[in-house]
């Protein structure tokens, strides 16, 4: 005999609830009683899970009473962003100064090499001009 994947339950409901469900088409209409009960139980489980999550969030929010308010956090965030922008500008300025220093150093090295070549050039006697 194959195993069943579902369990059977029975329920007694008030007549006015039955009439409302029937008028909405949840009993004997377009939806079976089984589908109606399954949907109701799933909604009950979701509601219970939401309450559990809400309770957990409430427990988390209580200790947060000592934390700074949102306005203070926004002000600190804005101050941090301004400081970051200032540091980026400073890094850019230092980088440009470094590039200029490297170019100047390279120019001085080239000038020194040119001067050394002139000094080390072979000397011609001054009395020979032909």
How many residues does this entry show for the chain?
130
Q: Would you state the structure tokens that stand for residue 63, as one six-digit string?
A: 């200790």
30 occurs within a structural domain: yes
Tell me: the pLDDT tens digits for 21-53? 888 877 776 778 888 888 888 888 888 887 777
34 occurs within a structural domain: yes
| Rounded Cα distance, 104 and 129, in Å | 39
94 occurs within a structural domain: no
54 occurs within a structural domain: yes
Q: What is the DSSP track for 12-34?
A: ---HHHHHHHHHTT-SSSSS-HH
Domain that holds residue 55: 12-65
82 occurs within a structural domain: no
- pTM to 2 decimal places: 0.38
Residues of the chain with pLDDT under 50: 1
103 occurs within a structural domain: no
- Per the structure, the count of domains in the chain is 1
């Amino acid at each position: 005999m194959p195993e069943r994947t579902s369990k059977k339950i029975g329920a007694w409901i008030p007549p006015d609830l039955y009439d409302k469900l029937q008028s909405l088409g949840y009993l004997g209409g377009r939806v079976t009683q089984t589908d109606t009960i399954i949907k109701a139980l799933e909604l009950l489980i979701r509601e219970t899970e939401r309450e559990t999550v809400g309770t957990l969030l409430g427990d988390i929010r209580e200790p947060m009473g000592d934390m700074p308010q949102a306005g203070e956090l926004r002000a600190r965030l804005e101050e941090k962003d301004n400081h970051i922008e200032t540091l980026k500008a400073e890094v850019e300025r230092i980088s440009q100064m470094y590039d200029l220093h490297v170019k100047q150093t390279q120019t001085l090295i080239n000038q020194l090499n040119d001067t050394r070549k002139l000094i080390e050039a072979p000397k011609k006697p001054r009395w020979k001009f032909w």
